[in-house]
A and B are shown apart, each in its own frame.
Chain A
Amino acid sequence: MSDIVMWVGGAMLAVAAVLIIVRIERGPSMLDRTVALDMLVGVVMAVIAIWSAATGRSDLVNVLVVLALVGFVGSVTLARFVAVEPEDERRILTSDEVKAQDARIHDALEREHRRSGAGREESMRRAYPESEDSS
């Protein structure tokens, strides 16, 4: 394969990858990012194919097989579990909000720690009454 084909094709794929990454950054919802991410896997497969043809490395074909099998796992997982996102989590928090959130988490951990130190035995007994009986 001639060098010209490789360079022209590679340039097209690079531009395509940049455009997809812009969509991933911009995408209003998680599902848009998922679709773009799936497509990015397709671009990577195209790059590997053209690279393999240019250098004659036939071992890269195995990488293509693996990517074709595994590429969809991410989008299925995201569509199944992360598709519902609260309105509030779509934007980037300001630094004050981040501080308030950190303080809330810290307080909750602190409280949890104190409580688990005090009443652990009792809560275990309440949670697993049958293990108490058997022993």
Chain B
Amino acid sequence: MSAAEWIASVCFLLGCALTLIAAIGVLRFPDLLTRMHAATKPQVLGLMFMVVGLAVSLGSNQLTWKLLLVVAFQFMTAPVAAHMVGRSGYRTGKVREDLLVVDELTEDLARVAKQQQPPSSSS
């Protein structure tokens, strides 16, 4: 095998292994946030491995740019989806409090509520 084929093979195998590990994580992790944490891996790093492998193995200049576009789109859309899911998960109470080490959002919301309490009660 040539050097390019070696690189492509290693990239493909790394991407596939990452996807498999993340799938095991999604199946076994206990709550929504940890599952999101596992699910992000194949979406970004795994996809980057696959795309690099594909670009090396196809070896065409134009297709490499198109594959770069794939990674750019994924970088733009994956955070949007994760933000929406995390936000509505927090608001509908899907986050397990006992598993959290730091919960700054709840502390901040409590502080804001306390600051807004005096004027609203006086008026």
Contacts and interface: CB of A to CB of B under 8 A. Distances in A.
Given A68-B70, A71-B77, A49 B43 contact: no
Contacts of A68: 47, 69-71, 73-74, 77
Contacts of A103: none
A53 B13 contact: no
Give the interface SS of chain A, mostly helix, strand, loop or mixed: helix
B67 A79 contact: no
Interface string B23-34: 110110000100
Contacts of A49: 12, 15, 50-51, 53-54
Contact of A15 (B15, B20, B66): B20
Interface stretch (A30-38, A105-113, A114-122): A30-38
A7 to B, nearest CB: 11
Contact of A42 (B19, B36, B69, B92): B19
Given A12-B19, A16-B23, A83-B91, A53 B54 contact: yes
Give the interface SS of chain B, mostly helix, strand, loop or mixed: helix
Interface residues of A, number: 48
A53 B53 contact: yes
Interface string B64-93: 001101110110011011001101110110
B33 to A, nearest CB: 10
B25 to A, nearest CB: 9
Contacts of A56: 58
A1 B23 contact: no
Contacts of B89: 29, 31, 79, 83
Contact of A76 (B8, B32, B84, B91): B84
